[in-house]
Structure formats: structure tokens, C-alpha cells
Amino acid sequence: MRFTDIVSTIFVARTIAFSHDAQHRLNDKINVAGTTDTNPKCYLPAPLNPSDDGLESSHDLFSSKKALQLMVKKHQSLVRIPSICYDDMGDLDTDDRWKPFNDIPKMLKKAYPTVHKHITPEKVNKFGLVYTLQGSDPSLQPILLAGHQDVVPVAAGTLHEWVHPPFDAFYNETDGYLWGRGASDDKSAITAQMSALEALLSQKTYKPRRTVILAFGFDEECSGHRGAGHISKHLEKRYGEHGIAAILDEGGAGLQKMGDVLYALPAVYEKGYLDVWFNVSVVGGHSSVPTPHTAIGIMAEIVTTLEHNPFKPEIAKNGAIHQCLACF
């Protein structure tokens, strides 16, 4: 099995809408309009068509009305579980707000019997789930497909603003939208990955050479330390540092339609993130002889200075985003 085989299946499972034939509709190696510079240029790899692997095509697997209805039903079951992660979540064993997470592995086992026939999921730090499908070639590094089970809270004061209740998972057959908290972020990834793996494992000829790992955290919306943090250490202990060939996680530009072609744009680039802590220490004193500046005043001046000097947006030349824009 090639990496592109399972990834292409997942893209189809996640979007349900796609172009049947792999082909380029973008101009290869052209200069950006309006520029005289030879850079940037749009460099496109050759189209990939995994249809020669002997497996049933993803188009045949997921494009029928019956297949869509089945996937919607499974996704609804997942979205209906109110697996909310709050910023002040307590201990995993004592905070009752963690209880809904007990229902997710039960639901997945019922919805994807073939996956669970071949794989026994590992529980990492109680609620983290890791599915490992062992490949036949140990010399190949595994690929990791990630997702998270938790969703952001729903403020009680906003419930009346919802067209459909957040955990009803209402599906509108007319426009194809499924309503619910987490329907997109990020339970769609879990449904797509599990559906793709279920379909692949249902075919007797599917015997992957490369190990495939599905890992689902449970606190991405409120830190990630207890979910993905523990899963990453668990996998690093097993496969070593830099032991994973590729990681497919949420994010990216989603779907972009140009003309009559719908493009799925995977995330290959992320902006950086940095937390900076300022600690101000001053000499103590008495209000009868106050110091010229207090710690609060100094800190306020720092904040004011930062607000008046925001970072300027910048796209790194020849970076992934720059090249993507060049192609469009």
C-alpha cells in the first residue's frame, strides 16, 4: 500500500464531492501574472492515480446515495455525543464532564466492526485512542492520521440562536449540511478516517506494506496536553524520534472550486505560535512616598507598546503558502 492510496480514500470520504479523474487544471511552471520576475513559479508534481492497486475505487465506495446515507448516520452518532472540553477541566477520574468521552469508543466499535475485528484500539491516558494497523514491511516508517474527539463548549445563553440544537446532528438532505457542534471540527476527521479504513479492511486484497496509525486526542480545544501530549510520547517511545514518515492532521485550505473542478487542499504548512510571559519586579514602598512607576504601570506601558507595534503580515518567499498562491 502506498501513502497516497489511503490518503486519497480519506479525502473522498471527508468531502463526498470530487473530480473522478486525477488531472491538472492549473498551469505548470508559469510566472505570476503582473510580475516581471522569473519567480515565483508554480511547480506541480505529476498527477497521482492510485487506481492500479487492485482495490475498489474510492469513487465507487463513497459516491452512491446509500454510501452517503450510511456515512451520515455514523457521523450523526458521533456528533450527538457531547464531548465538550472546558478550559477548567479537572481530573480525568473525578470530573464528571469527562464522562461523555466514555461513549465514543463504544460508538466507534459499533459503527466500524471490520476495523475492530482487525485492530484493538489502545487507550492512552484513559480517553486517547490509538488504532494501529501493522504493515508487512517493518523497514517502512508508519503514517499517522490524527484527529480529536473533543469539541468547544456551547454557551447556554446562545442555545436559542442555533437553527438546530448543537448535539441533535440534524442532517438537511436538501443542501447536504449536517448541523452540530463538532460536525466539522474535528469529528469529521474521525468519521472520514474510520470510514476509509473500514472500507479498505473490508477488501480481502488490502494488505498494507506500511503501518497505518489513527490517533484521536480528547482535549485539543482546551490545551492538548492530556490527549495529544500523551499520545505523542506514547508513539515516540515505540517508534523513536522522527519515527513517523508523515502526519495528516486537521487544517489546511479545505476545498477550493475553480471552474468545474473541486480541489482538496491538504495542509503542508503552519504558522508559528509563541507565548511570551513578562514578569515585572519593582522595589516595594509606602503610599506616603510612592515610587514614580508601579509594576502595574510598567506592565501597562509594555502592553500599550506592543499594541501600537503589531507584527506586519508577511508571506515567506518560496514558502508553501507563497507557492500555493503562485499556482492560483
Reported as a single tens digit per residue, the pLDDT across 210-220 is 999 999 999 99
> What are 324's three cell numbers?
500555493
**Distance separating alpha carbons of residues 186 and 218, to the nearest angstrom:** 11
Question: In the chain, what is the straight-line distance between the N-terminal and C-terminal CA atoms, in Å?
Answer: 31
Q: Which of 186, 198, 220, 249 is catalytic?
A: 220
220 flagged as catalytic: yes
> What are 169's three cell numbers?
446532528
Check residues 85 and 273 and name the one with the higher pLDDT.
85
Query: Contact 146/220 with Cβ under 8 angstroms?
Result: no
Across residues 204-229, what is the average pLDDT? 96
Q: pLDDT averaged over the chain?
A: 86
Q: What are the residue boundaries of the structural domains of the chain, listed by start?
A: 3-272
Q: CA 43 → CA 31, 192, 253, 259, 315, distances in Å? A: 10, 29, 18, 20, 18
Query: Contact 92/219 with Cβ under 8 angstroms?
Result: no
For residue 22, what pLDDT is reported? 39
Split at pLDDT 50, 70, 90, the class of 19 is: very low
Backbone φ and ψ of 14, nearest 5°:
-80, -30
151 CB neighbour count, 10 Å cutoff: 25
Check residues 69 and 10 and name the one with the higher pLDDT.
69
Split at pLDDT 50, 70, 90, the class of 38 is: low
Per DSSP, the three-state class of 309 is: coil
Reported as a single tens digit per residue, the pLDDT across 49-61 is 776 788 888 888 9
Query: Contact 164/177 with Cβ under 8 angstroms?
Result: no
Backbone φ and ψ of 123, nearest 5°:
-100, 120
For residue 1, what pLDDT is reported? 46
Q: 133 has which bridge partners?
A: 212
Q: Is the pLDDT at 39 greater than 70, yes or no?
A: no
Q: What is the residue whose three cell numbers read 490517533?
A: 215
Across residues 91-109, what is the average pLDDT? 99
91 flagged as catalytic: no
**Distance separating alpha carbons of residues 171 and 40, to the nearest angstrom:** 43
Across residues 195-224, what is the average pLDDT? 96
The dihedral sign for the CA sequence 108, 105, 188, 59: negative
**Distance separating alpha carbons of residues 271 and 160, to the nearest angstrom:** 35
**How large a percentage of the chain has pLDDT more than 90?**
62
> What are 270's three cell numbers?
503552519
Reported as a single tens digit per residue, the pLDDT across 128-187 is 999 999 999 999 999 999 999 999 999 999 999 999 999 999 999 999 999 999 999 999
Split at pLDDT 50, 70, 90, the class of 17 is: very low
Q: Is the pLDDT at 5 greater than 80, yes or no?
A: no
Q: 124 has which bridge partners?
A: 128
**How large a percentage of the chain has pLDDT more than 70?**
85
Four-point Cα dihedral 27, 6, 55, 132, nearest 10: 170
Backbone φ and ψ of 177, nearest 5°:
-95, 140
For residue 292, what pLDDT is reported? 86
Q: What is the residue whose three cell numbers read 475492530?
A: 116
Give the lowest-confidence range in 159-173, 266-280, 282-296: 266-280
Query: Contact 1/135 with Cβ under 8 angstroms?
Result: yes
Query: Contact 205/22 with Cβ under 8 angstroms?
Result: no
Q: Does the pTM exceed 0.85?
A: no
**Distance separating alpha carbons of residues 220 and 241, to the nearest angstrom:** 22
Domain 3-272 carries which CATH code? 3.40.630.10
For residue 175, what pLDDT is reported? 93
Query: Contact 3/209 with Cβ under 8 angstroms?
Result: no
**Distance separating alpha carbons of residues 278 and 302, to the nearest angstrom:** 9
Amino acid 257 reads K
Q: Which of 5, 150, 219, 249 is catalytic?
A: 150
Q: Is the pLDDT at 12 greater than 90, yes or no?
A: no
For residue 316, what pLDDT is reported? 81
